Chain A
């Protein structure tokens, strides 16, 4: 048996207020005592459900708002994780998602000291009107202040998030947002096209017609403009929505696209190991109660056949600019990509959406624009070879 390498995701579901577009597993209005009990449950879940013997490559605190809870709780979790599994090497990545309205100088230092080495700061927009409309809890100055304080505290790997295609957003506003963020000198950027999720306040506002989304072609212009602008700054698109200076790509997030294993702690958190995905109960109180009583908080699982893994390997892997490595595919599945999905692949190549050479299969520029369309072709593509399992 080789060493088991994993990423670890830790879900911190607490938020000060709920953003209008958000459909993640979050709760508002919890007390510090609730935070403490929840963190206690996280550590208990780690010890109960995950036997030692793993080697960790990355740790990711996502939310919710991980920056909302007492930094000492984050330190406690990191300590417990390090006591449970050795780190792969010094390059291991510990990311914490930060909401600019919640980060103080003391907190930044505390995270730094606890071992956090990467922050993902949710800026989203640089117009007070858009921030207010989205129910963000911070203003534009707090984005800049948080970023600069983080640099002062010694963080050399900082990411910023922004959203385009916001209701009534103009191209000029989007350019202002991107330019403002670039001026800070981030190492990494995530730019997301706004997705209207079911059951969110945003969806209801759109339904009632009080706001309206920009035309899809304008949204496409926003994306195209940003990609060019960031390339000029040396921030390269390494995934559909992610840009980084070389070497600053998110190590943890790449696990997801490359079908590498990750474990997960917390309410509603999802984990994957080859052949299986599973997830915990969503409710925070239920999660805490189950774990405190010594139970397994798992709520569901999905067993993946080898064929299904091959398909996911492809449509997830194609999200990355570098595409799918044929060698990794062969190592993993014992066959070449061509033998497994030759027919749909040939069709995508003929349509100019995918290109290939002996080393890789990847999306063309047009294919990157239509990654969803490509994904639809691959999500239930027939797998034409049988491999010995």
Chain B
């Protein structure tokens, strides 16, 4: 297809504003799938994506559209919307010339809308505003148009649609052709193609999702990945309709996939440039950076015999997820397991849930932590991704922690509450601006570690669910941090150690031991729980010994039932982890995330 008849676009939106439904309608109206083949959220193929209404993997689909007697090839690249995947989103956007910005007609502009808009503008995309859900009784398109104006878009040109009812879909298609420019790029230059995703196929090897920027790619070509330097021979090329459909070649401006007997997705980094091995381009496409885990957590099997199964499951997930990293780790409390790194909290939850669900593992996961950069006396700088491995205080010169810039959109009446929360979490104020008379945008620099501690739930509860949050990486900053240990029965439980700010250690320690006292069931003996910084105990509680545990009645008709009850109770205990002689339920290891700072 000649470049003039190609349009590459993405859909960006805040969660639940109707991105997937709009994509479904576009696929349906252009006839890419028959109604019989359609399923809701067609592009979200994982169960988890459909259940949670989120997109985790990028997807693409080629639509054929006739406009004013001309055939157009429209490539929709669906992106994950969540902040964890900002880098992936930015790569997907770089593969496009335009984006549909979908805004809910009653909710209006939200934090994620803004974050994605800024990303789109950074990549010089043409943004086509779409106001969705105009069929809802609470819809207020005029107000949303004004909000769009406030963020620098011509709201009056927004397409009004109801993706659910199928209203306004052809207007969207017309706007895509009219407003979004066709791809530029040099059709005769050396090949440069941008990788925006990849996935593992057990027959073909890794399928690499690309947008051809310059030149073309054919079956049989020798190609090179510019970041890793690895070379392969292309064995298959295809496009997404949305099922994989082989073609002869992909030319300048086109979107598709290729296979080349590649064994691991780690060789195909999102953002890397594919070029020809025989006639390589001199410079790669801009913007590549290796995936950098932001959040780490320990993953341990409850039953130590599952260790090998857990490793195999992690390896399988890694085949499809270049951002997942893990290495073996041992904990005095939990035994053999893995330290795994994730892009963010959602990424972590998704991986943990898939391990338990798809691989039928019972796991203990430790509370997530960020990566600290620690300068020690020798001048050496060490990366600490596990609180238990923080060097002793005496050896530390300084600790730096990761900082993010957070964008919070809130109704104006909750500005005070949001600022209070940000202060409690050691935030530093950057800016306050008003989107309209009712809503404001607050910007704060916040330690990423603080955001992990229940920040989003607190934000929601203090704004009655109205505030929205997005954030991006903003570097490292020195802070006065200490390691807080938890002792059960006098023994340090390494998996319960955490890094906290010195000024908050007392309050956090107190809140945590109280929480643990409630979570840890009564045992045969008293179990003291202590929080300590260094050798100093800062808080103490006791789980009193169990006094009575009896089955009151056991008569003839009851014996089979009572036996089953005993077996069930025993099974419940098996799901707990015995640390020393104390049995600890799984949730204890996450307790630190749930403690509210009473002084905060």
Contact = CB atoms under 8 A, between A and B. Distances in A.
Q: Do A and B come from one complex?
A: yes
Interface of A: 9, 11, 62, 192-195, 216-217, 219-220, 223, 240-241, 253, 255-257, 262, 264, 268-272, 277, 279, 302, 312, 315-316, 319, 351, 353, 368-373, 375-376, 379-380
Interface of B: 524, 544, 546-560, 563, 566-567, 569-570, 573
A262 B555 CA distance: 11
A369 B559 contact: no
A375 B559 contact: no
> Which of the listed residues B551, B569, B573 has the most CB atoms from chain A within 10 Å of its own CB?
B551
14 contacts: A9-B556, A240-B550, A241-B552, A256-B555, A257-B554, A264-B556, A264-B557, A312-B559, A312-B563, A315-B566, A319-B554, A371-B550, A376-B573, A379-B570
A241 B573 CA distance: 25
A376 B546 CA distance: 15
A319 B573 CA distance: 22
Contacts of B570: 376, 379-380
B551 A253 contact: no
Contact of A375 (B547, B553, B555, B566): B566
Given A192-B552, A223-B548, A370-B550, A279 B557 contact: yes
Nearest to B562: A375
Nearest to B567: A379
Contact of A369 (B549, B557, B567): B549
A328 to B, nearest CB: 18
Contacts of B567: 379-380
A62 B557 CA distance: 11
A302 B557 CA distance: 13
Contacts of B554: 240, 256-257, 316, 319
Contact of A373 (B524, B556, B557, B560): B524
> Which of the listed residues A195, A255, A302, A370 has the most CB atoms from chain B within 10 Å of its own CB?
A370
B548 A219 contact: yes
Contact of B551 (A277, A368, A375): A375
B559 A256 contact: yes
A372 B557 contact: no
A371 B559 contact: no
Given A270-B557, A272-B559, 5 more contacts: A270-B559, A315-B566, A369-B548, A379-B563, A379-B570
A264 B556 CA distance: 9
B548 A370 contact: yes
Contacts of A319: 554
Contacts, number: 94
Contact of B550 (A194, A271, A369): A369
A193 B524 CA distance: 20
B569 A376 contact: yes
A367 to B, nearest CB: 10
B347 to A, nearest CB: 36
B33 to A, nearest CB: 47
A232 B552 CA distance: 22
Contacts of B559: 256, 270, 272, 277, 312, 316
A174 B524 CA distance: 27
A371 B547 contact: no
A270 B556 contact: yes
A379 B566 contact: yes
A192 B553 contact: yes
Given A272-B556, A302-B560, A312-B559, A240 B548 contact: no
Contacts of B563: 312, 379
Contacts of A372: 549-551, 566, 569
A217 B555 CA distance: 26
A370 B546 contact: yes
Contact of B549 (A194, A241, A315, A370): A370
> Which of the listed residues B524, B552, B567 has the most CB atoms from chain A within 10 Å of its own CB?
B552
A277 B560 CA distance: 8
Contact of A371 (B549, B557, B558, B569): B549
B162 to A, nearest CB: 41
A253 B555 contact: yes
A262 B559 CA distance: 13
Given A264-B556, A270-B560, A319-B554, A351 B524 contact: yes
A72 B418 CA distance: 77
A237 to B, nearest CB: 12
A180 B309 CA distance: 62
Nearest to B569: A376
Contacts of B555: 62, 253, 256
B565 to A, nearest CB: 9
Contact of A376 (B544, B557, B566): B566
B252 to A, nearest CB: 65
A192 B547 CA distance: 16
> Which of the listed residues B557, B559, B563 has the most CB atoms from chain A within 10 Å of its own CB?
B557
Nearest to B557: A270
A375 B549 CA distance: 10
A41 B556 CA distance: 21
B553 A195 contact: yes
A270 to B, nearest CB: 4
Contacts of B553: 192, 195, 241
A253 B557 CA distance: 11
Nearest to A375: B566
B549 A373 contact: yes
B553 to A, nearest CB: 6
B551 A216 contact: no
A216 B566 contact: no
> Which of the listed residues B524, B550, B554, B560 has the most CB atoms from chain A within 10 Å of its own CB?
B550
A270 B560 CA distance: 9
